[in-house]
């Protein structure tokens, strides 16, 4: 009898026992080419998911699963790649071993997610800005000054778009703010700042970023207003990451989900990022400056303005249509199987780099998010052993790195109806180091789920603390948000910075090391990781889920918590 996972084990062993070979590169459409790079020969039992420890709240399981999912043989878990398929099969095997039931399409383990990959064809792409009058003209360097893509039909677009500076690109009636008031942006390119308007008061949650500050919202709002395109001005502090992070993501093919009939959803003709330096160049061509834009955009009486400048050039794209999958398992509730909660962790990462760094071209994604998937599977094994009263759905999502696409698709096509989903939880980039004295709640103050977590943390000898970097908008950057925006109370937490061994100084040093590895080829498995922190956090989550699924009342949003949905697109102009 063939053991579950034996096939994938053979594939992994073959990939890892081969002789070393040159780094593997990707073609413009994201297809793998060449020969896979290798690690030193690895015993089969370390690569066979059926040979790993059984899924449980156990350091050995967390360690070995993180190591497996971040192995070079997984090729960075890129969407639509052979390495991604190996990761999916390994997760399926481990869900089955955890004691879950399949909850995907047709009673299987996977949920198909129809995707479209769009790549910019660089030799046939060139962008510029020019003054409407006079001889002002400047080319924009793709990669250094601007990074864009298009989800319109593939091919070559010749663009000449009027430019509108629209401040922060926010329409927030509850805060009395509308950057689009009094201007028609249909058929134009809007340029907006990332982040929330820095009002200096408690609007937009003070220092904490709201969803209005996210780049994804900027595109959604521009589309809803009828704009042809949107460029978000990148600055390190409000974005919470450097241009290198944008480059690592946006120099690759971008993905979108397709409509159920395979058609393209409404989209901008061009969208992406512009560097602060290039934005200042654009502003000065209009007789202004980036600094003046900042001063104007933070005022309540700000009004968007059309600039005496065109953005244009030639943008050529190629497309590839594919299906990737979420891996979905379930523990049916013993008392109320038609109600329950959902736990997500994304399995995808960035795949392979266009250019190797010191001979390494694989974004292994050990912390982001092999560790989170390992944590989810550990929680699954623990909960399956004692069968909660309400159903628990486990979803290893695809395409999180592309804008939560797999989670959004599952929220639109859920294994458990949204109206019967009591809560959503997520694990992303776990604390692979030591235990902490505090639990950091990302987006603190939003739901009554925090009360449950506080009780669990107290039993662990820990306290809840707010997000250390609320301005980064972490609550809106992970998969639970796909459910939150549909009204499901969602909780996202992680180990804090006050380490049991070494205090805050040790925690801050670890954070800096993780930040330096974020979305780089250096996010690799490290044998020195203790996984004690990951075990502590996963154990806390398991206990929170036990309490919620056994409770008499549903969790709820706290008074005043606001989670915006997606703006509705405006109808195109007649004719």
Q: How confident is the model at residue 470 (pLDDT cuts 50, 70, 90)?
A: confident
What tokens does 285 get? 């061509």
DSSP single-letter state for residue 28: T
Task: Give the integer Cα–Cα distance in Å for 218 and 572.
Answer: 19
Judge whether 283 and 292 are in contact, CB under 8 Å: yes
**The pLDDT value given to residue 37:** 37
pLDDT in tens, 118-143: 999 999 999 999 999 999 999 999 99
Q: Give 10's pLDDT tier (boundaries 50, 70, 90).
A: very low
Q: Is the pLDDT of residue 440 over 60?
A: yes
Whole-number Å distance between alpha carbons of 473 and 562 = 14
Indicate the pairing of strand 189-193 with strand 229-234.
parallel
> Model confidence over 301-318: pLDDT tens digits?
899 999 999 999 999 999
Residue 309 has which token pair? 């400048």
Fill in the DSSP letter of residue 368.
I
pLDDT at residue number 68: 98
Q: Residue 283: which of 310, 307, 313 has the closest Cα?
A: 307
Beta-strand pair 336-346/352-357 = unpaired
Round to whole Å and give the CA distance between 133 and 110: 56
Specify the pLDDT at position 5: 39
Residue 545: is its pLDDT beyond 80? yes
Task: Scan for tokens 């297809």, then name that residue.
Answer: 31
Q: Are 347 and 360 in contact (CB under 8 A)?
A: no
Helix, strand, coil % (nearest 5) of the chain? 35, 25, 40
CATH for the stretch 59-114+322-496+539-550: 3.40.630.10
**pLDDT value at 562 more than 50:** yes
Least confident of 23-27, 92-96, 169-173, 370-374: 23-27
Average pLDDT over residues 521-538: 98
Per-residue model confidence (pLDDT) at position 46? 60
Residue count of the chain: 575
* 387, 100 Cβ separation under 8 angstroms: no
Better-predicted residue by pLDDT, 472 or 59 = 59
Average of pLDDT values for 244-268? 92
| CB distance 248 to 119 below 8 Å | no
Confidence of residue 145 (pLDDT cuts 50, 70, 90): very high
pLDDT digits (tens, 9 = 90+) for 181-233: 999 999 999 999 999 998 776 677 777 888 899 999 999 999 999 999 999 99
State yes or no: pLDDT of 19 exceeds 90.
no
pLDDT at 567 over 80: no
Nearest to 209 by CA among 224, 219, 199: 199
Query: Which residues in the chain are classed under CATH 3.50.30.30?
Result: 119-319
Of 8 and 405, more confident = 405
Asked whether residue 45 carries a pLDDT value surpassing 70, the answer given is no
490: exposed, middle or buried (C-beta count within 10 Å: 0-12, 13-18, 19+)?
buried
Q: Residue 443: is its pLDDT beyond 50? A: yes
What token pair was written down for 350?
């960035």
Per-residue confidence band for 39, with pLDDT thresholds at 50, 70 and 90: very low
| pLDDT(82) > 90 | yes
Cα–Cα dist 327/456, whole Å = 28
User: What are the angstrom distances between the C-alpha of 2 and each of 5, 6, 54?
Assistant: 8, 7, 18
pLDDT beyond 90 at 240: no
User: What residues have CB less than 8 Å from 232, skipping those under 6 apart?
Assistant: 169, 192, 193, 194, 215, 218, 219, 272, 273, 274
In the chain, list all ranges with CATH 3.40.630.10: 59-114+322-496+539-550
Gyration radius (Cα) of the chain, Å: 24
Secondary structure (3-state) at 169: coil
- Which residues 6+ apart lie within 8 Å of 393 measured at CB? 103, 328, 329, 330, 340, 341, 342, 343, 414, 415, 416, 421
Half-sphere exposure of 52 (CA within 13 A, CB side): 33
pLDDT at 79 over 50: yes
pLDDT above 70 coverage of the chain, percent: 90
Give the C-alpha separation, 5 to 14, whole Å: 14
Per-residue pLDDT at 27? 39
DSSP label at residue 152: S
**Apex 517 CA angle, 409 and 53, nearest 5:** 65
Q: Which of 335-339, 406-410, 514-518 has the lowest mean pLDDT?
A: 514-518
Nearest CA to 187 out of 124, 125, 129, 270 is that of: 270
pLDDT at 199: 78
Check whether the bond before 369 is cis (ω within 30° of 0): yes
Give the C-alpha separation, 185 to 307, whole Å: 12
Token output for 257: 């989900």
* pLDDT number for residue 6: 34
Token pair in block for residue 259: 């409509």
Helix (H/G/I), strand (E/B), else coil: 32: strand
Q: Of 88-97, 351-360, 400-409, 559-568, give the lowest mean pLDDT range.
A: 559-568
Confidence grade of residue 565 (pLDDT, cut at 50, 70, 90): low
pLDDT of residue 204: 78
Q: What percent of the chain has pLDDT over 90?
A: 80
Answer whether CATH 3.10.180.10 is correct for domain 119-319: no
How distant, in Å, are the alpha carbons of 204, 239, 298, 468 from that of 199? 8, 17, 6, 21
Range with the poorest average pLDDT among 257-266, 402-411, 448-457: 257-266
At 147-187, the pLDDT tens digits run 999 999 999 999 999 999 999 999 999 889 999 999 999 99
* 564: confidence class by pLDDT, cuts 50, 70, 90: low
Give the least confident one: 55-59, 452-456, 514-518, 567-571. Answer: 567-571
Look at residues 257, 265, 252, 251 and name the one whose alpha carbon lies nearest to residue 152. Answer: 265
Check pLDDT > 80 for residue 63.
yes
- If you average pLDDT over every residue of the chain, what do you get? 90
Q: What is the rounded distance in angstroms from the CA atom of residue 97 to the CA atom of residue 381?
A: 8
Cα distance between residue 54 and residue 60, in whole Å: 10
């Amino acid at each position: 009898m063939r053991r579950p996972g034996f096939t994938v084990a053979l594939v992994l062993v073959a990939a890892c026992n081969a002789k070393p070979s040159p780094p593997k590169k990707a073609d413009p459409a994201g297809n793998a080419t060449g020969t896979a790079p290798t690690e030193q020969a690895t015993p089969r039992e370390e690569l066979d998911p059926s040979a790993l420890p059984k899924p449980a709240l156990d350091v050995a399981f967390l360690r070995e699963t993180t190591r497996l999912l971040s192995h070079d043989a997984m090729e960075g878990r890129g969407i639509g790649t052979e390495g991604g398929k190996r990761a999916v099969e390994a997760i399926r095997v481990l869900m089955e071993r955890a004691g879950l039931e399949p909850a995907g399409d047709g009673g299987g383990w996977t949920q198909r997610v129809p995707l479209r990959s769009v790549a910019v064809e660089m030799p046939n792409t060139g962008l510029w800005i020019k003054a409407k009058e006079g001889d002002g003209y400047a080319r924009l360097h793709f990669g250094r000054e601007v990074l864009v893509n298009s989800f319109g039909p593939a091919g070559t677009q010749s663009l000449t778009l009027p430019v509108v500076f629209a401040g922060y690109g926010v329409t927030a009636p509850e805060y009395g703010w509308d950057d689009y008031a009094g201007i028609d942006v249909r058929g134009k390119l809007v340029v907006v700042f990332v982040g929330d308007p820095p009002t200096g008061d408690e609007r937009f949650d003070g220092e904490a970023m709201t969803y209005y500050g996210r780049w994804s919202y900027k595109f959604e709002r521009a589309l809803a207003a009828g704009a042809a395109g949107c460029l978000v001005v990148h600055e390190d502090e409000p974005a919470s990451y450097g241009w290198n992070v944008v480059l690592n993501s946006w120099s690759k093919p971008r993905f979108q989900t397709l409509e159920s009939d395979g058609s393209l959803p409404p989209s901008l003709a061009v969208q992406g990022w512009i560097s602060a330096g290039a934005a200042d160049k654009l502003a000065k061509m209009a007789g202004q400056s980036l600094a003046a834009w900042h001063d104007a955009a933070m005022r309540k009486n700000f009004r968007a303005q059309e600039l005496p400048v065109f953005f244009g050039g030639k943008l050529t794209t190629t497309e590839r249509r594919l299906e990737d999958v979420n891996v979905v398992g379930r523990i049916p509730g013993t008392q109320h199987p038609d109600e329950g909660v959902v736990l997500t962790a994304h399995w995808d990462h960035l795949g392979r780099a266009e250019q190797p760094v010191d001979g390494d071209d694989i974004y292994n994604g050990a912390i982001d998010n092999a560790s989170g998937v390992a944590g989810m599977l550990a929680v699954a094994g623990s909960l399956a052993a004692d069968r909660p009263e309400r159903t628990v759905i486990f979803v290893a999502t695809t395409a999180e790195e592309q804008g939560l696409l797999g989670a959004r698709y599952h929220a639109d096509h859920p294994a458990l109806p949204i109206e019967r989903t009591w809560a959503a939880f997520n694990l992303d980039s776990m604390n692979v180091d030591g235990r902490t004295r505090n639990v950091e709640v990302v987006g603190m103050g939003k739901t009554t789920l925090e009360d449950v977590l506080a009780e669990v943390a107290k039993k662990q000898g820990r306290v809840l603390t707010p997000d250390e970097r609320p301005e980064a908008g972490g609550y809106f950057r992970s998969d639970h948000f796909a459910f939150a925006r549909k009204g499901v109370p969602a909780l996202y937490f992680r180990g804090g910075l006050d380490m049991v061994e070494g205090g805050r100084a040790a925690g801050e040093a670890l954070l800096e090391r993780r930040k330096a590895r974020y979305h780089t080829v250096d996010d690799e498995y490290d044998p020195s990781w203790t996984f004690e922190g990951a075990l502590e956090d996963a154990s806390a989550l398991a206990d929170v889920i036990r309490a919620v699924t056994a409770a008499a009342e549903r969790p709820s949003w706290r008074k005043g918590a606001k989670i915006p949905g997606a703006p509705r697109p405006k109808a195109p102009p007649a004719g």
